[in-house]
Structure 1
Amino acid sequence: MPMKERFAAPLAVLSLVLVLVLGVGCGSKEVAPANPEAARDQVVGKTWVLHSLAGRNVVGDEQLTLELRPDGTVAGHAGCAVFSGTYTLEGATLHLSSLAAVEEKICGPSQDEQQYTYLSFLGRVASLKLDGDALDLIMEESARPLEFSTSAPGLFW
């Protein structure tokens, strides 16, 4: 049997298998959309600690926090005051509203300004981005987000 005829049948079978395997991956099946509740499951019910206020370092000894609660309310610590309000979360779209603060103590000018900025920025949040235990709250008019994590910074970082 000539060599050409000897490899023709196995080559034809191999070609057919490759076409079938590659064809399965090229189908027109739609990919199921990501779970729209995934962000809610990862964000709600955790205490988030602010690390960067739209590119600014957080000053003072008090942690600035944010907690989105399952009942649609938001609460947190703004430095010298605690705050509360409501939120809506649909996919990655987040809006915080009706924010009200109750002063716990008197702070210095830099912490007062930081608190005012933090609460003002929270009221302008339009969306969120999650990456593991990191949460960025994004304002439409700002290139820099509010950066949070679920853990406080350690002694050496």
Structure 2
Amino acid sequence: MFPTFKMLFFVMFSSTLVACASHNQKNETVSETPTLTGTWQVEDIDQGGVIDNAMVTIEFLEDGRISGSTGCNRFSGSLKTEDATFVVSKTITTRRACVPAIAKQEQRFLSALNEAAYFKVEADTWLVIFDASHQPRLKLIETTLSTQLHKDPIDKAASQANTFQCEQIGEVNFRFVGPETIKVSIDNQQTILNRQQSASGAKYTAENMTFWNKGNKAQLSLNGLAYPCVKSLPRKPR
């Protein structure tokens, strides 16, 4: 009887070791869900590419929301990303008229965004968003990496922050975040603007903001009101 009890104890002890080893191995293989931050540029929609001169972006905000550009209109919405899920809701867009090709791409983008189910980050570079049937719908790259990828001819000075003093507004900073995109900061409030055609200088627009710049002069328009701006000269070292 004693050998039987000894054998039973050995089997139970071995089973416990196997269970612990399996549990530890499982914990080692579980990876943390990447945190999505910053502004990302869409490089592919439904594996069909994107129109080059219509920059589509998604910006991940800290309050569980997203915003960005469809290539024609601005959009925003709520986002849930627990355990690599990617569920967008309450999406709203502006209603600017688009040329037919851009309008068609906008609908493809919004459909892919609203049908998204989960995401993966591939090669530490690409953000790939899938739907519930495991089809890749959107492929994005962070805007800083996108600039390097496309080798955009933005000089080193332009890629750094530029500061302007605007009448009645005060200090306004802007920085390039993509080939055709700038981020304007006013009192710690940041807005992404996309470049538009302009007869002279460089013009960037968002829903309620326009920033025009030529040399050391600029003009900031907010909600239809225009404010002239002058570039701040760098301080000379003493």
- Does TM, normalized by the shorter one, top 0.5? yes
Equivalent residue for 1:30, pick from 24, 33, 37: 24
Q: Does 1:106 align with 2:101?
A: no
Matched residue, 1:64: 56
Write the deviation string for residues 94-139 of structure 1: whole angstroms up to 9, x where unpaired: 1011111113x53211110100110111001000010212100001
Percent of residue pairs identical:
22
Matched residue, 2:136: 144
How much does 1:70 deviate? Answer: 1.4
How much does 1:144 deviate? Answer: 3.0
How much does 1:142 deviate? Answer: 5.7
Per the normalisation by structure 1, the TM-score is 0.71
Equivalent residue for 2:65, pick from 50, 73, 79: 73
How much does 1:60 deviate? Answer: 4.2
- 1:97 match: secondary structure: strand
* Structure 1 stretches of 4+ moved >6 Å: none
Aligned-residue RMSD, C-alpha: 2.1
How much does 1:35 deviate? Answer: 4.8
Matched residue, 2:155: none
Query: Between Structure 1 and Structure 2, which shows a larger proportion of strand residues?
Result: 2
Aligned pairs, number: 125
Alpha-carbon contact 1:39-1:91 (below 8 Å) kept: no
- In structure 1, the gaps of 5 or more residues are 1-26
Matched residue, 2:45: 53
- 1:119 match: secondary structure: helix
Per the normalisation by structure 2, the TM-score is 0.48
Whose relative contact order is higher, 1 or 2, with alpha carbons under 8 Å and at least 6 apart?
Answer: 1
